[in-house]
Structure 1
Amino acid sequence: MDKAIPSSKSWIGIIQIITAAVCWGTLGIFSTYLNQIGFSGWQTTILRIVTAALLVLVMLPKLWPHLIKLRPKQWIGLAFQSLIGVLGMSLCYFFAVIYVGAGPAVALLYTAPVFSLLFSTLLLNESITRQSALLALMAVFGVGLTML
């Protein structure tokens, strides 16, 4: 089989990536709209989490075989990632949209690679390679160009 032609699994992955990009890209628009009709940052965050929970419930039959394989330590890590990564990011992001607008909030959110690099160094003892530093710098440069 020619590797240049994507398989059906590749197409599913491509569609999922495009769908995720559309969802992520419209997040600022929806949060601005929800704020304009009276939703607070807390309410928008709760709406996002409840919607995600409902989607997970719909997908549970597909996810369950993978979930039952997780060890207790992995469940704890998943819980912390959910609380800090999802809840923390959502709250901060939606309040930022309210106070500074969607554009600057999104731009600042895209500095995440720099923070990932720093936290992986501090918390996981990973070294900063030339390539990772260059990519983080490119992310900041890209955000700067976007803001211009």
Structure 2
Amino acid sequence: MMNPRLRGTIEISIASACFGFLGIFGKWAFQNGLSVGELLSYRFTLAALLIWIFLLLFRPQWVRLSFKQTAIAALLGIFGYAFFSTLYFEAVQGLSVTLAALLLYTYPFWVNIFSHAFTHDKISRKEALCLVMASIGLVLLLWGHIEVHNAWAILMGLGSAISYAVYVMLSGRLQKTVRPVSSALYVITFGALALALFHQPPFGQIRNLTEVQASSIIGLAVICTVIPLILELAALQKLRSKEVALLMMIEPITAALMGAMIFHESLSLRQLAGALLIAIALFLNTTAKSLSQTET
């Protein structure tokens, strides 16, 4: 049987790579006329429907959760995913995409700060070094056109990072014993309800979506929501929150590589060096953890 830590590492690595396609599908959707509210609402609504249909057809017993766990999943969906997503895309509207992404990816720092302050999970020197290395690599990878149209958008960007950090920590602590797909079902469902109430998209106009718009929404729902969220929740049951947060930095590497491959965006030597530095930091951190587990 596969070592749980190795399995968790693989799960969060795949989840991170899937999240890296967010910008690809989002760019297609925005280029073809969808608004932020429409895209978020349609994305989470479709994702919720897909999981409900699958479970009711093949695993109806997995739909059942205790009232306590349902309430926890509801709060994580509303104040975690829905809140974080809205803040991030609001930041994108007032900042350059590069700066919004840099602010969002400060969340591994927040996870480590919160872990150090509120739990007994203290950060070691090796972990701190890997985090600094990965952060420098992130700046090299994403640094580009920096633009601020609205100062409040900076707070929105930081808010998205902090809210996502809180979501990662609480998911890891409060849902250790919950089946990941069952948890994802309610997290996504309540996230969809919150987004629909907040943005009030024209659901009656869904039949008028173009092929590209529909494809973008399906891609976001399946590749960037259902698959990675289930895998992320599964990984949080096997790894510490700060380990998951650091490994999630695979996402910007995937986004940069996919942007180069699909949109023919050129990658400079600086960006390639940044991606390599992130990869080295993640490898060193994962290897160090595996060796320490073996020794114990």
Instruction: Give the TM-score taking structure 2 as reference length.
Output: 0.38
1:108 match: 103
Contact residue 34 and residue 44 of structure 1 kept, 8 A: yes
Q: 2:131 matched to 1:128?
A: no
Gaps of 5+ in 1: 4-9
Whether 2:37 is the aligned partner of 1:42: answer: yes
For residues 138 and 84 of structure 1, do their structure 2 counterparts lie closer, same or farther at Cα, with a shift above 3 Å needed?
farther
Partner of residue 65 from structure 1, selected from 30, 47, 61: 61
The 8 Å contact of residues 28 and 97 in structure 1, kept in 2 or not, is answered as no
Higher relative contact order (CA 8 A, sep 6+): 2
Letter in 2 for 1:110: Y
**Cα shift readout 1:97-141 (whole Å, capped 9, x = no counterpart):** 33334433333322221122233445x534432155444434422
What does 1:23-102 correspond to in 2, within 5 Å? Answer: 23-61=18-56, 64-68=60-64, 70-102=65-97
Aligned equivalents of 2:122 and 2:135: distance in 1? 16
User: Structure 1 residues 119, 65: CA separation in 2 closer, same or farther (over 3 Å shift)?
Assistant: farther
Identity of matched residues, %: 32
SS in structure 1 at match of 2:20: helix
**Is the 8 Å Cα contact of residues 44 and 94 (structure 1) preserved in structure 2?**
no
* AA at the equivalent of 2:132: L
Aligned-partner Cα distance in 2 for 1:47–1:138? 37
Contact 2:55 2:62 in 1 (8 A): no
Letter of the structure 1 residue corresponding to residue 89 of structure 2:
F
d(CA) in 2 for partners of 1:91 and 1:120? 25
Residue identity opposite 2:142 in structure 1: M
Structure 1 residue 32, shift from structure 2 partner: 2.9
Cα pair 1:97 1:105 within 8 Å, conserved: yes
Tell me how far apart the structure 1 counterparts of residues 103 and 74 of structure 2 sit (CA, whole Å). Answer: 25
| TM-score relative to the length of structure 1 | 0.67
The answer on whether the counterparts of 2:91 and 2:100 sit within 8 Å (CA) in structure 1 is yes
3-state SS in 2 of match to 1:128: coil
Cα 1:45–1:128 shift into 2, 3 Å? same
AA of the residue aligned to 1:65? Q
